[in-house]
Structure 1
Amino acid sequence: MTDLELLRACQRNDPRAQTVLYQRFKGRLMGLHRRYARNRPEAEDMFQEGFIRIFQQLHTIEQPERMLHWMKRVMVNTAINAYHKNQQQRYETDRLDDIGEAALECSTHDYRDTFARLSADEVAKLVHELPDGYRMVFKLHVMDGYNHPEIAQLLDISEGTSKSQLVRAKNSLKVKLKKIGIVRYECC
């Protein structure tokens, strides 16, 4: 069954097609949530919520060839909503420090090069240890390619806060990298 046929069958609420859709894309989409969640149960909750939204909104897809991209976007938005919910429950606030302009110019490309030398598990562990705000901004910017205005809108924070959190995440990662013996990198 092609993606177009699968989409049309799901839009007709065919339960078999919905099962096929779920099975076909669960690995990729669950992996996305595992990047954003603090633990596996939280990732599974976000994943289930995301698939409910996908099934509720499948009728809105106008370009079937972009179905996977659209589903990823729904899942990222679900992760962001979970982040907001957790933030409200914890009443966390982040203070903005004065950050030099040079620190804001730090390239994410350099971090990608550094991370390429580590295993996926090592990278996930390092990023997972970041505070929630830093982790969300870092993942959205570095791993999913969102820019600061987009992140600010998605997380309901200022663009400056997004930049600040990214710089703090990078600085925190530098410390963690140094602890595991990686002391040379091109960034900052």
Structure 2
Amino acid sequence: MNKEEQGKLVKACKKNDRNAMEKIYNSFMPRMLAVSLRYCNNRSDAEDIVQEAFIKVFKNIKKYKDKGTLGSWIERIVVNCAIDHWHQRKKRVLIDNSELIEENETSELNEIEQQELAKQLSTEKLRTLINDLPEQYRYVLNLYAIEGYSHKEIGKILKIKESTSRSNYTRARKKLLENMRALGIYKNNC
């Protein structure tokens, strides 16, 4: 769907046109479900988050100012709904590992390693590996590495310390690499 089509559909949605809403929903729902699945292990919860997000999209469509893309605006709402969902069902306290992280805990992949890893790792397999991470690690990893939030912003969103966000991110990466090594996807020469 091109930008002009999106503009027409948004205008129609602002006038409560159900057909336009349905077209926007059908166009963006698969992508938004994929976004939601980055935050949930459970497809049913992910679908609920997407439904809640689209309700908010259509309730707030009049606030959409055509800055950026419609898809990005909807995605931000989905991420916020996923975070709200997490807060609502969170039963345990996030691990507060604000102590200093040892240097050997942070291993960066160089460009050649990244390219090799990309060849071996399908999107679905990566999603599965990320979903296998502990919940607090998964949320921080998604918010930082995929959504582009800073650790300070993540701290505010998840109601944790900035240092906890940093350590959870580092541990998420470490755990992800360990899981990849265990599956033979990523081999380290160390």
TM-score (norm 1): 0.86
Question: Is residue 9 of structure 2 the alignment partner of residue 6 of structure 1?
Answer: yes
Is residue 2:177 matched to residue 1:174? yes
Determine the structure 2 residue equivalent to 1:38: 41
Q: Given the superposition, is the C-alpha separation of residues 50 and 184 from structure 1 closer, same or farther in structure 2, using an over 3 Å criterion?
A: same
1:1-188 matches, within 5 Å, as 2-63=5-66, 66-87=69-90, 90-96=91-97, 98-100=99-101, 102=103, 107=108, 113=115, 115-116=117-118, 117-181=120-184, 182-184=186-188
Task: State the Cα deviation string for residues 96-125 of structure 1 (Å, max 9, x = none).
Answer: 152336368655887865652311222111
Instruction: Work out the CA distance in 2 between the residues paired with 1:9 and 1:64.
Output: 18
Q: Tell me which amino acid in the other structure corresponds to 1:20.
A: K
Amino acid at match of 1:95: D
Q: Which has the higher helix share?
A: 1
Number of aligned residues: 184
User: Which runs of 5 or more residues in structure 1 are unaligned?
Assistant: none
Aligned CA distance change for structure 1 residues 71 and 158 (closer, same or farther; 3 Å): same
User: Post-superposition shift, 1:61?
Assistant: 1.0
- Letter of the 1:102 partner, please give it: E
Shift of 1:68: 1.7
| Contact 2:39/2:142 (<8 A) preserved | yes
RMSD of equivalent CA atoms? 2.5
Alpha-carbon contact 1:7-1:64 (below 8 Å) kept: no
In 2, distance between residues paired with 1:114 and 1:85? 39
Residue pair 1:151, 1:162 contacting (<8 A) in 2 also: yes
Q: Which amino acid aligns with 2:159?
A: D
Q: Distance in 2 between matches of 1:118 and 1:23?
A: 29
CA distance in 2, matches of 1:174, 1:10: 44
Deviation at 1:26?
1.0
One-letter amino acid matched to 1:99: L
Task: Note closer, same or farther for the CA distance 1:144–1:104 as it changes in structure 2 (3 Å cut).
Answer: farther
CA distance in 2 between partners of 1:128 and 1:170 (Å): 13
Per the normalisation by structure 2, the TM-score is 0.85
Displaced runs of 4 or more, over 6 A = 108-111
Q: Is the 8 A contact 1:30 1:47 kept in 2?
A: yes
